[in-house]
């Protein structure tokens, strides 16, 4: 168990789908950036899922996926960034990314993405004397940076 993050592609809006959806599925882009359907009957939903898996060059429209860390790592990072002297500058990392070690199915809202990018940028100034923890922290920083770059380029939020 742990937290993994992803950024969905924008092939639907960019006209880059390799196969077109059926009109009756009413395909739309959900708030997390994924392709979704307004179809309400199970058969159509299953058909949509099969289509969605290979509708573009990205399986299920997932452009990038990365592991944020397991429960103990997320807890360690949360504890570190919550420290009194620095805690106030990481509201999105603490409230939406590291708030527990097992969340999934949620996302950082689009309006908070600029703040998240600023927080990830500030991570560079956080150092830990303990070598193994420092290595985890730098890995987390790189992972979040890469996800933020993709999210910004695609106009997408980061999902978990």
Q: Pick between residue 15 and residue 105 the one whose CB is nearest to Zn ion.
A: 15
CB of 93 to Zn ion, least distance (A): 27
CB of 116 to Zn ion, least distance (A): 22
Cβ-contact 6, 159 below 8 angstroms = yes
Provide the mask over 43-82, with x wherever binding to Zn ion is found by CB under 5 A and - wherever it is not.
-------------x-x------------------------
CB of 13 to Zn ion, least distance (A): 10
Contact range with Zn ion by CB under 5 A, out of 1-9, 78-86, 89-97, 124-132: 1-9
Q: Are β-strands 28-29 and 35-36 bridged in parallel, bridged antiparallel, or unpaired?
A: antiparallel
DSSP result, 57-111: SSGGGEEEEEEEEEHHHHHHHHHHHHSTTTGGG-HHIIIIISSSSS--S-B--GG
Q: Pick between residue 11 and residue 120 the one whose CB is nearest to Zn ion.
A: 11
Is 11 one of the binding residues for Zn ion (CB under 5 A)?
A: yes
Q: What are phi and psi of 123, to 5 degrees?
A: -55, -30
Q: Pick between residue 14 and residue 127 the one whose CB is nearest to Zn ion.
A: 14
Sign of CA pseudo-dihedral 144, 146, 148, 154: negative
CB of 120 to Zn ion, least distance (A): 24
- CA-angle at 152, arms to 147 and 155, nearest 5°: 115
Q: Are β-strands 28-29 and 2-8 bridged in parallel, bridged antiparallel, or unpaired?
A: unpaired
Contact range with Zn ion by CB under 5 A, out of 3-11, 23-31, 37-45, 93-101: 3-11
Task: Summarize as ranges the residues that interact with Zn ion (CB under 5 A).
Answer: 9, 11, 56, 58
């Amino acid at each position: 168990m742990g937290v993994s993050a992803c950024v969905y592609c924008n092939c639907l809006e960019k006209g880059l789908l390799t196969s077109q959806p059926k009109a009756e599925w009413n395909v739309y882009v959900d708030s997390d950036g994924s392709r979704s359907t307004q179809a309400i009957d199970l058969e159509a939903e299953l058909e949509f899922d099969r289509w969605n898996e290979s509708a573009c060059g990205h399986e299920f429209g997932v452009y990038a996926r990365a592991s944020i860390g397991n429960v103990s790592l997320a807890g360690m990072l949360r504890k570190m960034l919550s420290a009194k002297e620095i805690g106030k500058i990481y509201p999105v990392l603490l409230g939406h990314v590291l708030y527990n070690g097992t969340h999934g199915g949620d996302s950082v809202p689009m309006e908070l993405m600029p703040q998240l990018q600023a927080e990830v940028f500030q991570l560079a100034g956080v150092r830990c004397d303990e070598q193994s923890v420092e290595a985890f922290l730098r890995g987390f920083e790189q992972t979040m940076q890469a996800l933020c770059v993709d999210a910004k380029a695609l106009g997408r939020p980061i999902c978990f």
